[in-house]
Amino acid sequence: MRVLGIETTCDETAAAVVETDGAGRPIIRSSEVLSQIAAHAAYGGVVPEIAARAHVEAVDHMVARALERAGVELSDIDGFAAAAGPGLIGGVMIGLTTAKALSLVTGKPLIAVNHLEGHALTPRLIEQVQFPYLLLLASGGHTQLIAVRGVGDYVRLGTTIDDAIGEAFDKVAKMLGLPYPGGPQVEREAKKGNPERFHLPRPMQGRPVADFSLSGLKTAVRQEAQKILPLRASDVSDLCASFQAAVVDVVADRTRVALRGFRDIAGHPTALVVAGGVAANMAIRRGLERLAAEAGVRLVAPPLALCTDNGAIIAWAGLERLRMGIQDDLTVAARPRWPLDASKDTRAGAKA
């Protein structure tokens, strides 16, 4: 089975071809990603109108490139998947409409994938991780702890009540005068800094529900910075190091609570999986490794190219659905909001 996947929910225009071999093992035949970071950098964040226009201009080309790199023709594709949300609606519509058109002209199935499901099923694309597992999805737009029990069977154990983790990194970077996107900059500064110089809060620490709150931590960084203006280079590094250390503690604490909740609804997880752009942060990864060792589970961190937004994870989620007999009709709508636990789909009945 071979699926073409399209991703346009945020600031990447991406297309990929993923197939399974005779034993059902996944193979990524191509994965083409065009990042719009440069187009948005001047504004310090993603501008929806600019994103939508860039998707329109790039999507056909990215699909053609994905087919070409994979060495296949349109007629060799068994299904067309697109991320149908959640995301910036202008962009989502472009990817979904493209997949609908391809489905219409080829007569092959359309699969409308929840973007978060793409992230949730990624560990099965790289290592065939078995269900159930705990996913920490941490990106610029999302922070969620999800029990993944099967295709279409997700239980959200925690989410952020304000900023996403990546968003907090980006905002802290901005207030300290570091360029966008800020996450990697903050990590680089943190390496040079003293994590114990500033005493920052660990919001939600010890709370029994695995939710996150990051805006208070971000505000605390601002207040500490204001006390010592003007900032010297070493102040910036120390603020970054102290902020990152607080995030590492918060992530470990919240994930520990989610692991406890997981056991009540799904038993022992086969793995703890971390995905999303924030998974690039080595300090956070090390914190999660310590937690995983303590809890007796394996930590799986997909390669970075599959942690951030791309077409391969959408193609793979589409393939997992299609091989269970799940597909969508051409009337399916793009959805700006679409919680993952609402993606429950029992049409196929079984768990893969």
Binding residues are: 115, 119, 137-141, 170, 183, 187, 281, 309
β-pair partners for 4: 17, 80
Among 170, 238, 253, 328, binds ligand ATP (CB under 6 A): 170
- Binding partner of 166, given Mg ion, ligand ATP, Fe ion, none, CB within 5-8 angstroms per partner class: ligand ATP
With beta carbons less than 8 A apart as the criterion, state whether 70 and 315 touch: no
181 touches ligand ATP by CB under 6 A: yes
Residue number, 103 or 213, with CB nearest to ligand ATP: 213
Residue number, 30 or 308, with CB nearest to ligand ATP: 308
* Binding segment (CB under 6 A) for ligand ATP, from list 123-131, 180-188, 217-225, 285-293: 180-188
277 touches ligand ATP by CB under 6 A: yes
Site for Mg ion in 277-336 (CB under 5 A): 309
- Binding partner of 169, given Mg ion, ligand ATP, Fe ion, none, CB within 5-8 angstroms per partner class: ligand ATP
Contact letters for ligand ATP, residues 228-267 (x by CB under 6 A)? ----------------------------------------
Question: How many residues touch Mg ion (CB under 5 A)?
Answer: 3
- Binding partner of 7, given Fe ion, Mg ion, ligand ATP, none, CB within 5-8 angstroms per partner class: none
- Binding partner of 280, given ligand ATP, Fe ion, Mg ion, none, CB within 5-8 angstroms per partner class: ligand ATP
Q: How many whole angstroms separate alpha carbon 238 and alpha carbon 244? A: 10
Residue number, 170 or 309, with CB nearest to Fe ion: 309
Rounded to a whole number, what is the distance in angstroms from the first to the last CA of the chain?
A: 15
Question: How many residues touch Fe ion (CB under 5 A)?
Answer: 2
Among 32, 309, 320, 328, binds ligand ATP (CB under 6 A): 309
Residue number, 116 or 292, with CB nearest to ligand ATP: 116
- Binding partner of 170, given ligand ATP, Fe ion, Mg ion, none, CB within 5-8 angstroms per partner class: ligand ATP
CB of 140 to ligand ATP, least distance (A): 2
Residue number, 132 or 181, with CB nearest to ligand ATP: 181
CA distances from 331 to 89, 99, 101 (A): 16, 12, 12
Binding site for Fe ion (CB under 5 A): 139, 309
